[in-house]
Structure 1
Amino acid sequence: MNMNALELKDTGLENEDPAAQVGKALEELKAKLETKAANDNKLTERLDRLEAKMNRPQNGPANDNEPRLETKAFNSFIRRGVERMDPLEAKALTVATDSAAGYLAPEQFGAEILKALRQFSPIRQYARVITIGGSEIKYPRRTGSTTAYWVGETDDRTESEAAYEQVAFAPYELATFTDVSNQLLEDNAYNLEGELSSDFAESFGIAEGSAFVTGNGTGKPKGIMNAAGIQTMITGNGTGFPTSAPADVLINMFHKLPGVHAQNGAWLMNRNTLGSIRTWKDSMGRYLVVDPISDGAPTTLLGRPIVETIDMDDIGANKYPILFGDLKGYRIVDRIGLSILRDPYTLATKGQVRFHARRRVGADVTNPDRFVKLKVSAT
């Protein structure tokens, strides 16, 4: 007999009509299947509840009837005092820094870190960036070129030759480290190691961004505002811009550079300076600063983008608040990108892990003739 066929049990009703017997058997099978389905649904619901409970953040609010350890600990403290508490419950209490406050009610922590905005100068996004494989790289830079002279058919020719110098780029090292306890690494709810990596990258970006603008080249990259050979214009006013036609100063800056460099140029200034010049107009009454008409487009000044650079000077006596030029004339060399080393051994006896972070980067101006900077000065 086929095992998959419907089996008719001995019910003592062999004399019944076969069709009736088949009908009863089908009814019994249907009842069993419905019962099994109901049991399966209950099991599935129970598994879903267990899975939801397991996936619930450990520091989040409890939705079941079981009180949290911190709540039980606080209740035990209120009832029996810390001297009679279970050691595990005592560890769950939060101790106030103010000794007069005693033990505080249990805290809850969100699974994210709230961070204040940290800004840094975005020179790297616009400069020419390369990666080197050695301790230094040198570039030849032309300082003089050949000259052609008009001559007669049989006149003697005049010699001329190009002159060059070498520009050397040496990467400098940025480094720091921080120590974190093993317990904090184990118990935190927001991937502390990943957060440290992000924080290191941000801190290094701030340090190098400042050096790219104001660095003196001693133990750090040479900043664009301290590079030699960049021409300087003055405002004509000892404390700021002239009260009459201040926009003319910026128009003159724009036309100070050759057209090919001006058409590739960008304006560097901080947000305070930008706020001061936003209301200025040219001689035809047109605003110099134009807001973007589409998302992602830059704010422009005389048709060229403005790069908000937090490390630029504010407007003030003998300050340099604005630079204009082709930022491809500033070169950044990376030797080692951001590297993070996890050291669990040095402070193992103290239950801590040390994280070392470092990178090597150098920078300098390769083409000072592509820039002009503005000084607040009367003469």
Structure 2
Amino acid sequence: MPDIIEVAPVAAEETRSLPDVETIRTEIRSEIRPLADRLSALETRANRPTGGNLTPTEPAVETRAFLNYARTGVERMQAEEVRALTVANEASAGYLAPEEYGAEILKALVEFSPIRQYARVVSIGGQAIKYPRRLTGPSATWTEESANSTETTASYEQVTLTPYELRTFIDVSQALLEDNAYNLEGELAADLAEAFGITEGEAFVSGDGDGKPVGLLTAGGIAEVTTGNAATLGASPADTLIGVYHSLPNAHAQRAVWMMNRTTLGTLRKVKDGDDRYLLVDPVSASAPMTLLGRPIVEAVDMPDVAANAFPILFGDLQGYRIVDRVSFTMLRDPFTQAAKGLVRLHARRRVGGDITNPDRFIKVKVAA
């Protein structure tokens, strides 16, 4: 027989001392409410445009060291930051920007150097780099079974891309550098990107290769189409441009863009085809480019105006132009030269080169009879 457990009856006084159900519910709600508020706050922070980071991301020690170097100089930096900065020290003096900050410079650079957005950009670790360039390719022939194959040959040459040095400097107020609320990194990225972008953009278009990159308009081997008039786009610009479009092989035309400056673009906006339709098509959205014969138009301020013997329009696949970056961005701090004016001079330099690797991917329009 199992043991029988006797339960003592609850006294009336003990029953009356127990809390009622409503009181228990109130206490539970008071305990749950703070947890619900905390969860709501976390959800709000996770939905912010910071990508869900619940705490601010601390910059890497290399980035922090580089910015502190610009603000105060190496003499006032912490030992840990000095060690991080020394790793990036260049033999030619100056300190390399950390990868994170260098990427921001290059990102802003595209706004002033539009060719970078479409060309093939590579980083190199030597003084120059060589690429094979095919001049003629092999061809296949139909051959009877067990018959000998027909010999064909392919010919190649080498194109050497050399990075050249580009320099600038910025004078910054000592007071601004001492103010931690001042967005030094943002200002430097914008100012240096503009300075470098304007200069390299000009070279990518018309550089002669003498201490600077070879430009698209000066590189050899690119086919030309003339306008039929010594000083204008000719009597029928629409026919000329349609001819240019269909002169490029289909594989390249499908990836090609039109390059011209804003003045030439304004002239072409008035051009109509034989059915009285405007040749240029406005973008369907604010972020979409304007198109000509279905291909995007890239505005390049360094392209020449319509004039005698000028090349105001270029059509091609810009992947056939290669840009090489050797040193992304190096800075040297000079607190002495402008000290009497309360300024610190920041010297910046980078090394970049560029040249055509595939001239068969381009056609340029020449203003000539």
Q: What's the TM-score once normalised by structure 2's chain length?
A: 0.64
Residue 138 (structure 2) pairs with residue 146 (structure 1):
yes
The residue matched to 2:139 in structure 1 has which SS?
Answer: coil
Instruction: Please tell me whether the aligned partners of residues 112 and 193 of structure 2 are also in contact (alpha carbons under 8 angstroms).
Output: no
- The equivalent of 2:151 in structure 1 is 159
Aligned-partner SS, 2:305: coil
Matching residue within 293, 303, 317 for 2:308: 317
Q: Which amino acid aligns with 1:302?
A: L
State whether structure 2 residue 196 is matched by structure 1 residue 234. Answer: no
The one-letter code sitting in structure 1 at the alignment partner of 2:256 is G
| Distance (Å, rounded) in 1 between the aligned partners of 2:180 and 2:138 | 67
Number of the residue aligned with 1:214: 206
Kindly report the root-mean-square deviation, in angstroms, between the aligned alpha carbons of the 2 structures. 2.6
Q: 1:205 aligns with which of 178, 194, 197?
A: 197
Task: Answer yes or no: is the 8 Å Cα contact 1:120–1:309 preserved in 2.
Answer: no
- Cα 1:318–1:189 change in 2 (3 A) is same
* 1:171-223 deviation line (CA, Å, top 9, x unaligned): 11101234455356458995567534421221101001111101111101111
Alignment deviations for residues 213-266 of structure 1 (CA, whole Å, 9 cap, x no partner): 0111110111111111100000001110223x3210100000010111111110
Alignment of structure 1 residues 44-83 onto 2, 5 Å: none
Instruction: Give the secondary-structure state (helix, strand or coil) at the position aligned to 2:259.
Output: strand
Distance, in Å, in 2 between the alignment partners of 1:284 and 1:194 is 50
Q: Quick one: which amino acid aligns to residue 326 of structure 1?
A: D
* Secondary structure, counterpart of 2:122 in structure 1: strand
TM-superposed CA distance for 1:294, in Å, is: 1.4
1:152–1:126 Cα change, 3 Å: closer
Displacement, 1:316?
Answer: 0.9
Instruction: For structure 2, list consecutive stretches of 5 or more residues without a partner in the other structure.
Output: 1-110
Structure 1 residue 297: Cα displacement: 0.5
Q: Counterpart of 2:118 in structure 1: which amino acid?
A: Y
CA distance in 2, matches of 1:346, 1:246: 55
- 1:162 shift after superposition: 1.3
- Aligned partners of 2:219, 2:184: CA distance in 1, in Å? 40
Q: Which residue is 2:125 aligned to?
A: 133
Report the AA paired with residue 127 of structure 1.
A
CA contact (8 A) 2:176 2:182 kept: no
Q: Structure 2 CA distance, aligned partners of 1:269 and 1:336?
A: 29
Structure 1 residues 193 and 297: alpha-carbon distance in aligned structure 2, compared to 1, 3 A threshold: closer
Alignment of 1:225-304 (within 5 A): 225-243=217-235, 245-304=236-295
Closer/same/farther in 2, CA of residues 298 and 347 from structure 1, 3 Å limit? closer
Contact 1:171 1:360 in 2 (8 A): yes
1:226 partner SS: coil
Shift of 1:268: 0.2
Worse-superposed segment, 276-285 or 194-203? 194-203
Aligned 1:368-379 pairs, distance under 5 A: 368-378=359-369
Amino-acid identity (%): 62
Q: 1:124 aligns with which of 116, 119, 141?
A: 116
Letter in 1 for 2:217: M
Q: Which residue identity lines up with residue 164 of structure 2 in the other structure? A: Y
Which structure would you say has the larger Rg?
1
How far 1:376 moved relative to its partner? 0.3
Aligned residue pairs total 259
- Is the CA contact (8 Å cut-off) linking 1:121 and 1:310 kept in structure 2? no
- CA contact under 8 A between 1:214 and 1:224: conserved in structure 2? yes
In 1, the alpha carbon distance for the partners of 2:293 and 2:233 equals 18
TM-aligned CA distance change 1:259 to 1:186, over 3 Å? same
C-alpha distance in 1 between matches for 2:173 and 2:288 = 45
Is the contact made by 1:201 and 1:338 (CA closer than 8 Å) also made in structure 2?
A: no
Preserved contact between residue 121 and residue 311 of structure 1 (Cα < 8 Å):
no
